Amino acid sequence: MKYLTLAAGVLGASAAWAETPELTVYTYDSFVTEWGPGPAIEEGFEAECGCDLKFVGMGDGAALLARLKLEGARSDADIVLGLDTSLVAAAKETELFAPSGLQADYDLPITWEDDVFVPYDWGYFAFVHGTDLSAPTDFKALAESDLKIVIQDPRSSTPGLGLLMWVKTAYGDEAPEVWAGLADNVVTVTKGWSEAYGLFLEGEADMVLSYTTSPAYHLIAEEDDSKTAALFDEGHYMQIEVAGKLAGSDQPELADQFLQYLVSDAAQSVLPTTNWMYPAVTPEGGLPEGFDGMIQPGKALLVPNGEVPALRKEALDEWLTALSR
């Protein structure tokens, strides 16, 4: 009798567990670290959805798209979070994403009109360095200097791809010459942002490709004002990070609910001090103290989504040629 009672209890618990819906979100590694936004967003969303939110970290943003292309319609993901405007066109070409149907009061530097992808944060790429360094004010000055930099691979990393777009947009046909000059400055090329920034913090380079808002982390989280970002005269390339719902999701309503939560005040107020980017929707309480001290680019650079694929191939060839010499 005791055995039957125990067995019934186990079966009942198993049935209850099986009924808990699961939402799988592919994202980049730094998003799901203990200091990233993942834990707080997971806790907040699960409190509303009565579901099990499962984040799966895999490299950097460009690596996400590569993984998705490999898996195709067989992917276990319901949501992909961490692509950006440089990858939107390529992501749509896969025909794996479904329209979100979501509208929000975005506070972005551009008008957002895409009906598939949902922006959740944004920022400007920049080279971060110590405040004791006399930093160059453009790429040509950087190339002429003896400064050592760490950058990310554009084939696996969205910051790395953003750097290609930055140089190409700023210099056009002169980009190959700029990259030829920069080649000697590059200490190493990492697969993703985390590895690159870690090398910079360990003193392996003078500057690292990151964001204008990265010094806010050191200032707010560590009370360390020894880091800043170099302001470049030719402008800074913008990144808008997005999330999208997969057409093959077996939890489409839950996926829609997650995307709506992602642009809610609860999630947006978490992002500035965990992902260290500007939120796509300004939180009711505004930005944290410290963000107002970040450098402000005089010119914002951004290639229209539809023009990125062709420009990306050209810029990648120029980058590979320069760094292989």
Q: Kindly give, in sequence order, each residue whose CB lies less than 8 Å from that of residue 123, ignoring residues fewer than 6 positions away.
A: 211, 212, 213, 238, 239, 277, 278
Q: Kindly give, in sequence order, each residue whose CB lies less than 8 Å from that of residue 100, ignoring residues fewer than 6 positions away.
A: 115, 116, 117, 118, 244, 245, 256, 259
Give the residues across from 25 on adjacent strands.
55, 79
CA distance 241 to 158: 9
Per-residue pLDDT of the chain (325 residues; tens, 9 = 90+): 434 444 445 444 444 455 899 999 999 999 999 999 999 999 999 999 999 999 999 878 788 999 999 999 999 999 999 999 999 999 999 999 999 989 899 999 999 999 999 999 999 999 999 999 999 999 999 999 999 999 999 998 999 999 999 999 999 999 999 999 999 999 999 999 999 999 999 999 999 999 999 999 999 999 999 999 999 999 999 999 999 999 999 999 999 999 999 999 999 999 999 999 999 999 999 999 999 999 999 999 999 988 999 999 999 999 999 998 7
- Max Cα-Cα span within the chain: 83
Beta strands in 19-60 (DSSP E): 22-27, 52-57
Q: What is the pTM of this model?
A: 0.89
CA distance 24 to 43: 14
The structure tokens listed for 266 are 């609860």
Pairing type for strands 118-130 and 207-211 reads antiparallel
